[in-house]
Amino acid sequence: MSSLRSTAQYHLNYFLHHRRSWSATSIDWSRSDFIAGNLAKPMNRLPRNFTLGGIRGFAVLGAKGSHLQSLKIEGIKDIIAVASGKGGVGKSTTAVNLAVSLAHKCQLKVGLLDADVYGPSIPTMMKLHGKPEVSADKKMIPIENYGIKCISMGSLVAEGEAIVWRGPMVMKALEQMTRGVDWGILDILVVDMPPGTGDAQISISQRLQLSGSLIVSTPQDVALIDARRGVRMFSKVNVPILGIVENMSYFQCPNCSERHYIFGKGGARKTAHEMGLKFLGEIPLEMGIRSGSDDGVPVVISDPDSSTSQAYDDVAQKIVSRLEELTKEPFLQPEINI
């Protein structure tokens, strides 16, 4: 434990020593100076219950009393994480289209947080322009489009600018992008998680009252290996797994309608069954999804009656049903067979 504290203290000292040079990034601090002030504040000391696995934040399953309240964000009913064990599986595209489906198909008030600080893509996919305004109580006001309230680091830096920050800066930025935002009243906040199972993922999982996590994977074994790691991470911090979504499941020929399973067939469904998890659906590999992401018009907006949009709508409705199930059994965690 002493060596662990020493390592943490080293990173803290490094952060405090270099914070001024880091604050000289190309973020427009004239509009976001309150973020700079919060990022420059020293981090609190390690809590007593700090372990190698991190702070034991129990999400909706084990937390009680004041600790549960401290994990909540005022005005937000449910927070769900859209995650993957690796990049390149279409996690952000899935998060965007599900957020819009939850708002339009399920008639919910939805927010979207781009937690991928190093590679923010939500501003492009949601066609967000400008920077967040600041409220009277010094909180960011989300940029809204398609009925979704959005916050992303991509809206705070110059387009194409690299975020060259060490872990402590990223942690403070994520804290400000969650609790330093005037979200208003939301039914669901969708968090587009960064890929992997590192510091950012663990911190978000333990510092927010996550109602559940959604694992996105493609069908091939290489992606599913890392998807399993994502499941294990969330299980270690007691965040319920809402289910697995298989992205790029198949390509359907527009001429003959034959399905081609480019990345394999049924891999995510099989993995969900083996791990005792819900399989929430298949999303095809389709040009409209790609073009919609590049143009900033999600496919559920540009072509709401398509089979692809229907697939997203079905997953969104299953997410709502899973959240209702977990609400009825708040202290029972799904058994995960690993």
Q: pLDDT tens across 187-225, in order? A: 999 999 988 777 778 778 778 889 999 999 999 988 898
Model confidence at 330, pLDDT cuts 50, 70, 90, reads low
62-76, 164-178, 236-250 — which is least confidently predicted? 62-76
DSSP 181: B
Buried b (16+ CB within 10 A) or exposed e, 274-293: ebebbbbbbbbbbebbeebb
What count of Cα atoms within 13 Å lies in the side-chain half-sphere of residue 10?
6
Neighbours of 255 (CB within 10 A): 6
Write out pLDDT tens, residues 111-128.
Answer: 999 998 888 999 999 999
pTM, rounded to two decimals: 0.77
Question: Which residue spans within the chain are E strands per DSSP?
Answer: 76-83, 110-114, 133-134, 140-141, 143-145, 148-152, 186-192, 212-217, 241-247, 251-252, 259-260, 279-283
Q: Which residues contact 9 (CB under 8 A, 6 or more apart)?
A: none
Write out pLDDT tens, residues 275-313.
Answer: 999 999 999 999 999 999 999 999 999 999 999 999 999
- The residue type of 167 is G
- Nearest CA to 247 among 125, 82, 123, 112? 82
Between CA 329 and CA 104 the distance in angstroms is 27
What is residue 162's predicted lDDT score, i.e. its pLDDT? Answer: 78
CB 56 within 8 A of CB 68: no
Between CA 21 and CA 6 the distance in angstroms is 24
Between CA 189 and CA 109 the distance in angstroms is 9
